[in-house]
Amino acid sequence: MDIKLVVFDVDGVLTDGSLYYSENGECIKRFNVKDGVGLKLLQDKGIAVAIVSAKESEPLSRRISDLGIKHFYPGSKDKLATVHGIAQQLNISMHQVAMVGDDMVDLNVMRVCGLSIAPADAYVRVKSQVDWITEAKGGEGVAREVADRILSLYYDLDEIYQLTTTEYFERKR
């Protein structure tokens, strides 16, 4: 397996899929810090990360900016075309793409990728059609689990995680 790009859906993958609204009608999203570390590690090791979501939100845009993710496509109405475009831009084949999704809208992409992954609590029809189901539920470390598993194909994870606290925080910037 030669994964060069990992694509993540947002709601139900990087979040638990819940929608929280403030008194003012503002949508609030909760993200897992462990997922952020996983996304950064993938990028640090030369594996591109893309976030492709059908929805747009300010909290999501801020989180992606904080993580320095270059390939961010909110409001994508055609995820398959979006992912094909990213693969072309990176000059890789769809077999070098891993897709992490949780619902039916993600399946058309997952069917043509080299590796399809769903969270433990993904929609049952999705879980029945993917290569791998994570132990983590959406919003509870899915991206970190995916990052660890993909990175373990190429690296010794013990070496990656033997950073001093200073090195760790310097790499997070």
pLDDT in tens, 99-142: 999 999 999 999 999 999 999 999 999 999 999 999 999 999 99
What are the residue boundaries of the structural domains of the chain, listed by start?
5-172
Distances (CA, A) of 96 to 79, 114, 155: 17, 6, 17
Q: Is 102 a known ligand-binding residue?
A: yes
Q: Is 131 annotated as a binding residue?
A: no
- Class of CATH domain 5-172: alpha beta
Give the separation between CA 109 and CA 116, rounded to whole angstroms.
9
H/E element, 145: helix 142-151
Confidence check: pLDDT of 173 > 60: no
- Is 103 annotated in some ligand binding site? no
pLDDT tens digits for range 45-104: 999 999 999 988 888 899 999 999 999 999 999 999 999 999 999 999 999 999 999 999
Helix or strand holding residue 132 (H, E): strand 132-133
- Predicted TM-score (pTM) of this structure: 0.90
